[in-house]
Amino acid sequence: MTVSGLTFQHPKSDRPVLRDISFDARHGAMNAILGPNGSGKTTLFKCLAGLWKPRAGTVRHGECDILSLPDRKRSRLIAVVPQDHEPPFPYSVADVVLMGRAVHVGALSAPGERDVQIAREAIETLSLDHLSEKSYTRISGGERQLTLVARALAQQTPILLLDEPTSHLDFRNQLHVLGKVREIARDRGITVLMTLHDPNLALLFADHAIVLTQGQVLASGPPEEVITEATLAAVYGVDVVMLRHNGTRVVSPKVTR
């Protein structure tokens, strides 16, 4: 997927939130969009998900520009995994995952055997079988996030878009969810694009990173090259030190006790 020249401005405002954003998202890989609050991460996410209309720019996937597609066609290309939220009714995990089939089921029909099967397979892939009948509102945050990933998987799209999937998760679940998502990206050749706030998670899991600052792309490329002391200082205004251990790289902020 290639984003070119994406520009977004609120109708009432005189300054663009996103300016000429361009980057590539690797196929079959985990692409992370990093940036502080206010860098335009959320706006970029909403533009890609089709919720907000950008002033200019294209998002190409193969032959077509996703931005110019009507909602239904877009839903066949991009599946969105939102942040966790509480739905008003306690659907079962299986019911929630089945919702991912909506774009393939006509308005006047209900899901058929095949849809149920695909949903079932998505649940299995995410190792959620034991939770299948449980109420979505009663499982843990990590399990809920995985359910939403399974739903997106059931949608059977080449692109998966995730919005800060780790922001409400505890330490273990952050690693668990990102691990699973990367597995899916690699095993199924899906383009995964996610916004992240934690540079360390990007270093651990991302195959490709895009750093945003003030509505523009500062750098994009492999995480080791892009997430450096210099870029982090420039973007976050925080002094960090890069630690290396057995091939793993971690950033640690310079905080004096």
Q: Binding residues for another protein, per CB under 8 A?
A: 49-51, 71-72, 74-76, 78-80, 82, 85-92, 94-96, 98-100, 102-105, 107-111, 113, 116-117, 120-121, 124, 127, 129-130, 132-133, 135, 137-138, 151, 155, 175-176, 178-180, 182, 204-205, 248
Q: Which is nearer to another protein, 35 or 111 (CB)?
A: 111
Smallest distance, Å, CB 110 to another protein? 4
**9 near 15, Cβ under 8 Å?**
yes
Q: Which is nearer to another protein, 98 or 217 (CB)?
A: 98
Smallest distance, Å, CB 96 to another protein? 8
Smallest distance, Å, CB 129 to another protein? 5
Q: Which is nearer to another protein, 190 or 217 (CB)?
A: 190
Q: Which is nearer to another protein, 133 or 239 (CB)?
A: 133
Q: Determine the Cα angle at 217 with ends 235 and 164, to 5°.
A: 70
d(CA 175, CA 178): 5
Smallest distance, Å, CB 25 to another protein? 17
Q: Which of 212, 198, 210 is nearest to 251 (CA)?
A: 198
Q: Which is nearer to another protein, 19 or 104 (CB)?
A: 104
DSSP result, 82-146: ------SS--BHHHHHHGGGGGGS-TT----HHHHHHHHHHHHHTT-GGGTTSBGGGS-HHHHHH
Smallest distance, Å, CB 213 to another protein? 26
Q: Which is nearer to another protein, 137 or 239 (CB)?
A: 137
Burial label, 181 (beta-carbon count in 10 A; 0-12, 13-18, 19+) = buried
Q: Distance of alpha carbon 96 from its chain centroid, rounded?
A: 18
Smallest distance, Å, CB 232 to another protein? 21
Q: Which is nearer to another protein, 89 or 255 (CB)?
A: 89
Burial label, 239 (beta-carbon count in 10 A; 0-12, 13-18, 19+) = exposed
Smallest distance, Å, CB 144 to another protein? 12
Dihedral (C-alpha) 6, 10, 15, 21: value to the nearest 10 degrees?
Answer: -10
